[in-house]
Structure 1
Amino acid sequence: IVAEEFVTAEDGSGVVHMSPAFGADDYAAGQRHELAFLQPVGARGEFPDDMPLVGGRFVKDADPLIIEELQRRGVLFKSQRFVHSYPHCWRCRTPLLYYARTSWFVRTTAFKDRMIAANAQVHWTPPEMGAGRFGEWLENNIDWAISRERYWGTPLPLWLCDADAAHTVPVQSYASLAEHAGRALPDDFDPHRPFIDDYHWPCRAAGCNGTMRRTPEVVDTWFDSGSMPFAQWHYPFENAERFAAQYPADFIAEGVDQTRGWFYSLLAIATGLGDELAGSREAGAGSRDSGTVGDRRAGASDRRTSSDAPASRPQSPYRSVVVNDLVLDANGHKMSKSRGNAVDPWAVIERHGADAVRLFLVASSKVWVPRRFDENAIREQAGKFLRTLKNVYSGIFAQYANFGWAPSAADPAVADRPLADRWILSRLTAVEAQVDAALTSYDATVAATALIQFVDDDVANWYVRTSRARFYDVADADNRAAFATLHEVLTVTCRLLAPLCPFVTDWMHRELTGETVHLARFVREPAQAHRDERLEVAMAAIRTLATLGRAAREQAGIKVRQPLARMVVVAPRVSEAELAPLMPLLATELNVKEVAFASSGDALVTLEGRPNFRTLGKKFGKATPEAAQQVAALPSDVLRRMANGEGVEVTAGGTTRALDAEDVELRRLSAGDLVVAEELGFFAAIDPAVTPALQGEGRARELVSRIQRLRKESGLEVSDRIVLAVRGGPEVGDVLDAHAEWIKSEVLATELVRETSLSGTYHATLAVDLDGIPADVAITKV
């Protein structure tokens, strides 16, 4: 019986049997305590044929026989089945054995500290992977068993004497092999098995008559992968300058399972070679750890060479690492062909497009976080965004630019363009800096999210929507400013999005500039970027007020097409001077005639307090009903002081207590005839009164909306002119009397005809309802 730290009394009895040939911990304990090393199982996991009772049986199949024999002898204390974790082959699902094999090792423990120091220089994404999972792997480093008992692979270049295995020769090159073998290698020399094993020679050790033959093992494939940085250039035999220019790598990216695979093999080999890689971009950063390869161990035998690592600064073969976690199935399980839950990526790409799939995987969550795969989400998120981007280009820019706009000196300078243009260009500069910083730190999710929000919220849902009328012509400076602005926004957006969506961005960038996006400058020169942060703050306030104004309209049950006389707004922390130039935009967006400022919302709303009996009960006990009455009776000005953080007290049952925010639910009620919406200190109050004149204008807007829809459904081009015919009663006539010219200009009608019946031949006709007033319209293409 021996004591070991890997056995505890927390699970089971605290006493376990030991099998040094069938477990790493057991083997190490056997070495420490000089226990016998016995290997009673063959390489196929079967007992020897001549072994009594269980001879020739697979070890798991022998369990019942052994239990039966113990019972027969009367030495069995208890037999019971337990459900526990056990390793199985990932392909055939048969149980596996931990099995001690004779192997060749790289003594990585000799330069473990240097690997840890090199890892400390690496920028890991996420950081906890480098300090945690990978860092702990290095801290607990054991020597690397690099040999594999397989046929195909890179042959282990070690020749051993068949008379004395201590006589070992490492062969470092083709030239070295030819020299040892005493014959030239043919031009078509193949360094793999079986050809490499034809090369042998007499042992040259003094007094030895043996023959040097290659050890039969091949090299761990991760050794090949870890040699990639220099092996790809055939360095050090050639391409020294190219290697020096490209080593170390700026970054690598792989799955989380590579912490013990490629990430480790790259670092271990580079650190072990040290100064042998001195031709790199950081020459002299490493040092040669000699004598670390060639250690072979089997059971209790252990032959190794010694090594003393020089104390110079170590170098990692990569500067940054991006760790990707797994894409799981819809139930959160790891995808596997054997389980039948794997998703065919080519089929998904065929249905949604490569760009949409790429963007979905990057934007939906951090790539180092496990993600459940939901194909519907591709369509809802990435697919919807790409359609929006394409519609902004094809449906707005390309369609109307065909009227004759192209970039030229006639386009107004940015400083001379309307505020809306300067605002979206300022936002573009901000997003450009945000995306560049995110990708520089290898956070593609932040970059993708910023671009999606910019295109959806700023470009499509605000700038293009509020500026649409400016794209219907190309003649004057305002039109040219709009086209030049949207052209720059789309071009820069394509460049920022190209690493994530390389195909659609390249197509669009070629359409915009005639050049591929992948050779364009990623970010603009500082002189080309324009930023006005105060304008961005002011526009954000306008957009907040617009949202509140629409909410107030909804409360009042009034559609946005119905003009209103006035609204009153409050915007904290933004001066009236900054907001005033943007007020026409707000008035147009909310379809109101006049927008007035107020310094605070006090005159727009009154406050009403509702007591929270649960929290008041903790303060007033039996006097809670009286305290609740006191709270309900608090006047609006006292409640407003409380909302601003001032202390308020109430007395009940002879006890005076200070009220906390949770004690009172504040309700805001509109004061007067205005309908008010409020959020975080912003107020938008509309006058809901609709005069006959405003009602007529609203009907005119409704009529225009229906005609525009009829044009689209009839297949007319946006530039097509029409003759418009309208039939209706006196109220429809009143609308036409007041707004005929405006209606004609909006729908591109060269003529507006009032008909008593629509019996002629028209391109399309439609019956409409104008706020309860019936009418018929007809259009004919001119």
Structure 2
Amino acid sequence: MIKFSEIEEKILEFWETEKIFKKTLKKDCPKGPFTFYEGPPTANGKPGIHHVLARAFKDLIPRYKTMQGYLVERKAGWDTHGLPVELQVEKTLEISGKGEIEKYGIEEFNRQCRQSVWQYQADWEKLTSRIGFWLDMDHPYVTYHKNYVESLWWIFKEVADQGLLYQGYKVVPHCPRCGTALSSHEVAQGYKSVTEPSVYIKFKVTQDKGLIKSGDYILSWTTTPWTLPGNVALAVGENFGYVRVKHNNDYYVLAKDRLEVLEGDYSIEAQLIGSDLLGLEYEPLFLGAIPEETENYHNGFKIYAAGFVTTDDGTGIVHTAVMYGEDDYLLGSEIGLPKYHTVDESGYFNETVKKWAGKFVKDDEVTKEIIKDLDSRGLLLRQADYTHDYPFCWRCDTPLLYYAKDSWFFKMSELRGRLMEENQKINWVPEHLKEGRFGEWLSQVKDWAISRERYWGTPLPIWRCEKCQEIKVIGSYDQLREQSLERLTKFVVMRHGQAENNLAKTFSRAEDKWPLTDLGRQQTAEQVKRLKDQKIDLIIASPVLRTRQTAEIAAKELGLEVIYDQALAEYDFGQWLEISKEERLNRPDYQDYRSKTLEEKFDYRLGKNGETAREIMDRAEKFLLKTNKEYFGKNILLITHAGIAAAVNRVLNQANLEDYVNFEGVGYAAVVNEYLTEDGKSFDPHRPYIDRHKLKCQCGGQMTRVPEVADCWFDSGSMPFAQHHYPFENQEKVDAQDYYPADFISEAIDQTRGWFYTLLAVGTLLGKGTPYQNVICLGHINDAKGQKMSKSKGNIVDPWEVMNQWGADALRFHLYTMNQPGETKNFDIKNVESVVKKNFNLLFNVLSFYQTYAEDRPASTDLPQVKHVLDEWILARLNQTAEKITTYLNQYNLFSAARLITDFIDDLSTWYLRRSRDRFKSQDEKDKAQAIETLGYVLLTLSKLMAPFTPFIAEELYRRLKGPLQSVHLETWPETQTVNDQVLREMAKARKVVELALAQRDETGFKVRQPLSKLTVMGEKLAGDLSEIIKDEVNVKEVEFVKAEELSVGLDIVLTEELKLEGLLRELVRSINQLRKEAGLTINDSVVIGYQTDSEMVKKVVSDFKAEILSGTISAEIKPEKITENLIAKDLDLNGEKLWLALKK
């Protein structure tokens, strides 16, 4: 059996060695860019089977579009900020909560966070590669990188400048464990169904008012007993009907429509409306919990009207704790209720709630104690279990509290109409999400709580004056540098323009040769013009001719002198300097260098007597420290070489060797900004360093940065811009829509409350419109029984085990074809095995058959000119399949497209090839050649159609067929020809006739190998060549058509002696060929057949059909004798006729 996983490993090696992915990005792309966004994972956890699902779907469309002639750059990304990272580090450090973090130290804690995000990077990259997901992992965007953060600051300022950023004291979802507010989209990801006690509470009236008497009770209901100490008011519907009832000797007030909450007998004493109750005072449930000195205390503990009251549940009277409910808070602000927290931000009761001070409010025991206390004081009517959805922290699983506090917000509610409008432009798969899950979310969109009271995240670029409270939002590092009281040195690192040695591919550090080309001068002039507004203070340049000429152009434009410094000169390449590329490639030491790993290259002496990379780093570091000390606080333009720019980047940013090598490819006249602190360290925009930067306020006061960091979903939602360091770089391409919007994205369906939303939110905030045009949402993946996978259940599927056993393509193809993308997927490895057996094995059997007869010739790339009806049909089926797959993929209907491949492989194997087998052995050389050419062309085209779905299988198929290009993934997508509908219709009718006839054979007990005399077909007559196919397939001597409205068939099942002999002949030939197979013989092995039998029929068959037996079994002779030294021998029973059979070479 073929081990597809082993084939895939070899293909992976081939792709890597030959850099096939990179070649797909360099080939002609006449259709221009097709933009794909990779949603960034966090690499502090191992990837699982659900990540394979997402990556399989992400990979397919970019492969397809690449083959169609688009340039599909696929930049990897890493989500590196936020609670997911912080919680992991807390766990590692065995600390918990903000207090312990601050005791540990923010600087060291954030350093640990920065390191932890790469804990499983290798696992992610290995899995990504193994499943065939082509992604540019060499140049990923990383959300904690300085350039990325700077773009986020710019977005913040843009939002602020539009008046869409504000700070508000309001009730927000708050995680008491993490100590921070969460956004509505984060909350939406953490709901769980819980059953908790709900309570009906008796609030004692303290005054007579109309029909209500002092001592009566107002009934209210709550599912959050912990909020009762914070109660400051009761709310009623002003025009609702209410009643005063007598029940168990007490008098209660509740909504008339909610009398059902009373258990037992009651009598209605009076009927009222809500307005009759307004102003009625009652006794606080927990005296002293709200101190009397609290502002507006005199307005508390009364009944007020509110629009949020309903009679759908509860009592129609709402308990109001203004600090713990959004509606409650708004009501409290409107009418001036006392605002006092009875719970601290960690979720513990404070000292005014004396009985439970210091206890966690959501503790089950505390809830029981509160209820017990109320009961003991006669203030509990009854309690009942209540099942509802309650929000939990999406990261730490702590129940959230709705909690009044200061937070920063984006005014998404003002953009609700625009968000809904942009949503209409998106092609959602599945379609119902547009108006359903996503559309409904947008219609209720709330302001985005953007701030987090945490540590490892993008610091909010907001400074507040300690004196006048003025707010300033900073939108770039240059703005910070200009306004901060903490000085920074800015290095503008610029590579020289294109020079003649670059064209000659010659290493040089000469000061008198290899000048700039005309293009290089133009590149330099254009870049320098962009630098004019950057207030450059001085220029320091390499003395090499090409950098000197670049510096002269800059100096003239900027009106500055140039300082030349050998520390910025090109690498010393030793003996590799000033020789041609050909000479260099012929040197053993250069070839030795090229064979080394990055780590080995770092200490390799270039050109025998040149520098090592480590020495170059040392040179760059010493230069930076010296220059920073000498010119601290200045804006310095450094004009140097790509390698030295890469060295500067590595020194300042602790870049790894891969990044260092990648940076060496920086473009001609490219500019990179770096900022240094006074101690010579690279500027870090994270806490606590950024908090040291104070600004001068216009009032003369000092501005301090607010302590919060941004929601990490803001990081990922801004990736269309921040991944390109927009607008500081790549502005033209983003604005020209080369990089925005994405043509395609795909993630799990829960991202409708996450990344899908934040992408749209940021794009809308910036006025850029929808950030993606097509999105495939994926359903969740469960185990085979439909259970959610979890460690505790032991039902987690290891994707590596699946791929090692059956291969990545089998896993991919199963995920495409099991059901529609948005549906929940119950994963069973048996179905992956089925893909191999029903698709791949079948396909490779066809391939093996083809290779047997193709005699190592390359498969035909040109559409064959055919005459045989089977060839016409399979080419029509191929065109039909290609056309439909193209249509479906253009509609992002991957499920239907993938299933067409299964159907085509089945038709190719079980109909075309089975009906054509004899043609490949035919004496008619012309027909034989046509069959071989047709099958080769079909398989080669099929490899292209399969390439986006099963990239490994397609590659192996293409290579075995000797496709004309290096890889199937460098091919163009098959152009569909005109489909021959007539031959498809006619063949479909013929196959239906065969189906009916074989069913009748089965009913009457006649095997297909037994010839019958005649098949009568009632229906439309088919062409003669199709009649021949029917005759062969049904194994009848004659097919007769009788005109009829409805198709039916009839078999003549009378067996003549001749038919019996012919049936026995077929059984004998089949048995001999089965023995050949069991003996491991090939078509090149001729054998001698020996047999012994007492059956006269067998003897007659051998006598009458000897030639047919020999040709049908690739045999030289058949003898009625017992052969010794045979390859294989067996006793057989053929239709009741017994014989002994043996083969030998």
- 5 Å matches for 1:148-297? 148-165=452-469, 167-182=470-485, 183-185=487-489, 186-187=675-676, 188-205=682-699, 208-209=700-701, 211-243=702-734, 244=736, 245-274=738-767, 286=768
Distance 1:453 1:700 in 2: 34
Q: CA deviation at 1:240?
A: 3.0
CA deviation after TM superposition for structure 1 residue 418, in Å: 0.7
CA distance in structure 2 between the aligned counterparts of 1:162 and 1:340, rounded to whole angstroms: 55
The answer for the alignment partner of 2:1076 in structure 1 is: 711
Q: 1:420 aligns with which of 841, 846, 870?
A: 870
Shift of 1:189: 1.2
| Superposition map of 1:28-427 within 5 A | 28-49=330-351, 51-60=353-362, 61-89=365-393, 94-165=398-469, 167-182=470-485, 183-185=487-489, 186-187=675-676, 188-205=682-699, 208-209=700-701, 211-243=702-734, 244=736, 245-274=738-767, 286=768, 315-337=769-791, 340-381=794-835, 383-394=837-848, 396-402=849-855, 405-407=857-859, 414-427=864-877
Higher relative contact order (CA 8 A, sep 6+): 2
Q: Is the 8 A contact 1:724 1:753 kept in 2?
A: yes
Deviation at 1:190, TM superposition (A): 1.2
Q: 1:370 to 1:553 in 2, by over 3 A?
A: same
For 1:416, what is the secondary structure of its paired residue?
coil
Which whole-Å deviations, capped at 9, do the CAs of 1:263-315 have from their partners, x for residues lacking one? 111111111112xxxxxxxxxxx5xxxxxxxxxxxxxxxxxxxxxxxxxxxx2
Deviation at 1:405, TM superposition (A): 4.3
What's the counterpart of residue 1037 of structure 2? 593
Unaligned runs of 5+ in 2: 1-234, 238-305, 490-674, 677-681
Partner deviation per Cα, 1:179-211 (whole Å, 9 max, x = no partner): 011522434211111111111133223xx43x2
2:483–2:696 Cα contact (<8 Å) kept: no
- The equivalences for 1:603-642 within 5 A come to none
User: Is 1:519 matched up with 2:823?
Assistant: no
* CA–CA distance in structure 1, aligned partners of residues 918 and 392 of structure 2: 67
**CA–CA distance in structure 2, aligned partners of residues 737 and 379 of structure 1:** 47
Give the letter for the 1:536 counterpart. L
Q: 1:450 to 1:32 in 2, by over 3 A?
A: farther
- The alpha-carbon deviation at position 134 of structure 1 amounts to 1.2
CA 1:93–1:227 in structure 2 vs 1: closer, same or farther (change >3 Å)?
closer
Change (3 A) 1:37 1:471: farther
Q: What's the Cα RMSD here?
A: 2.3
- In the superposition, relative to structure 1, how do residues 321 and 36 fare at CA in structure 2: closer, same or farther (>3 Å)? farther
Instruction: Report the CA distance shift for 1:196/1:720 in structure 2 as closer, same or farther (over 3 A).
Output: same
> Is 1:737 aligned to residue 1041 of structure 2?
no
Measured against aligned partners, the alpha-carbon deviations of 1:674-713 in whole angstroms (never above 9, x if no partner) come to: xxxxxxx321211001111111111111100000000010
CA-CA distance at 1:162 after TM superposition = 2.1
**Bigger mean CA deviation after superposition, 56-65 or 583-592:** 56-65
CA–CA distance in structure 1, aligned partners of residues 307 and 846 of structure 2:
66
Does 2:1138 match 1:684? no
Partner in structure 2 of residue 760 of structure 1: 1124
Instruction: Check if 1:542 corresponds to 2:990.
Output: yes
In structure 1, the residue corresponding to 2:1023 is in which secondary structure?
A: helix
Shift in Å, 1:131: 1.6
Which residue number in structure 1 is paired with residue 1013 of structure 2?
A: 565
Aligned residue identity for 2:720: P
Q: Give the AA of the match of 2:683.
A: F
Structure 1 residues 718 and 87 mapped into 2: Cα distance closer, same or farther (>3 Å)?
A: same
Structure 1: unaligned runs, 5 residues or longer: 275-285, 287-314, 602-680
Mark the CA change 1:477 to 1:406 in structure 2 (over 3 Å): closer, same or farther.
Answer: farther
- Partner AA of 1:780 in structure 2: K
> Structure 1: how far apart are the matches of 2:457 and 2:1144?
77
Q: Distance in 2 between matches of 1:349 and 1:51?
A: 58
CA distance in 1, matches of 2:794, 2:404: 34
Question: Counterpart amino acid of 2:895?
Answer: T
The whole-number CA distance in structure 1 between the counterparts of 2:865 and 2:474 is 71
Question: CA 1:27/1:454 → structure 2, altered by over 3 Å: closer, same or farther?
Answer: farther
Q: Distance in 1 between matches of 2:793 and 2:467?
A: 50
The C-alpha deviation readout for 1:701-737, integer Å capped at 9, x for no partner, is 1100000000010111122111222322332221112
1:359–1:246 CA distance, 2 compared to 1 (3 A)? same
Question: Which has the larger displacement, 727-736 or 714-723?
Answer: 727-736
Task: Give the Cα separation in 1 of the matches to 2:795 and 2:396.
Answer: 17
Q: Tell me if the contact between 2:236 and 2:317 (Cα under 8 Å) persists in the aligned partners.
A: no
1:317-340, Cα deviation, whole Å (9 max, x unpaired): 111111111112334343344554
**2:525 aligned residue:** none
Offset at 1:31?
A: 4.3
The structure-2 alpha-carbon separation of the partners of 1:381 and 1:87, relative to structure 1 and needing over 3 Å to count, comes to same
SS of the residue 1:77 aligns to: strand
Residue 89 and residue 202 in structure 1: after superposition, are their counterparts in 2 closer, same or farther (change >3 A)?
closer
Q: CA deviation at 1:471?
A: 2.7
- Secondary structure of the 1:41 match is coil
Q: Is the 8 A contact 1:726 1:754 kept in 2?
A: yes
Q: Relative to structure 2, which stretch is displaced further, 587-596 or 328-337?
A: 328-337
Q: CA–CA distance in 1 between the matches of 2:406 and 2:440?
A: 27
Deviation, structure 1 residue 542: 0.7
Identity among equivalent pairs (%)? 40
Q: Does the Cα contact within 8 Å between 1:352 and 1:383 map onto a contact in 2?
A: no
Residues 54 and 421 of structure 1: CA distance in aligned 2, closer, same or farther (over 3 Å): same
Cα distance change of structure 1 residues 564 and 331 upon mapping to structure 2, 3 Å threshold = closer
Match status 1:449 vs 2:899: yes
Change beyond 3 A, Cα 1:85–1:222 = closer
Could you tell me which residue of structure 2 aligns to residue 491 of structure 1? 940
1:200 and 1:383 mapped to 2: Cα distance?
Answer: 68
Q: Which amino acid aligns with 1:114?
A: R
The yes-or-no answer on 1:432 pairing with 2:882 is yes
The alpha-carbon deviation at position 557 of structure 1 amounts to 1.1
Q: Deviations over 1:522-575 (max 9, x none)?
A: 222x5xx35211111110011111111111111221111111111111235xxx
2:349, 2:356 within 8 Å by CA — same for their partners in 1?
Answer: yes
Q: What whole-Å deviation, never above 9, does each CA across 1:432-468 have from its counterpart, x for those lacking one?
A: 1111111111111000111111111x11110111112
TM-aligned CA deviation for residue 89 of structure 1:
5.0
How big is the shift at 1:247? 1.5
The separation in 1 between residues aligned to 2:1098 and 2:1135, in whole angstroms, is 11
SS of residue paired to 1:778:
strand
Residues 717 and 758, structure 2, Cα contact 8 Å, conserved in 1? yes
Matched-pair contact (CA < 8 Å) for 2:430–2:821: no
Give the CA deviation at 1:84. 4.3
Alignment check: 8 A CA contact 2:463 2:695 kept: no
- Distance across 1 between alignment mates of 2:1092 and 2:377: 109
Is this contact kept in 2: 1:359–1:382, CA < 8 A?
Answer: no
Q: 1:472 to 1:33 in 2, by over 3 A?
A: farther
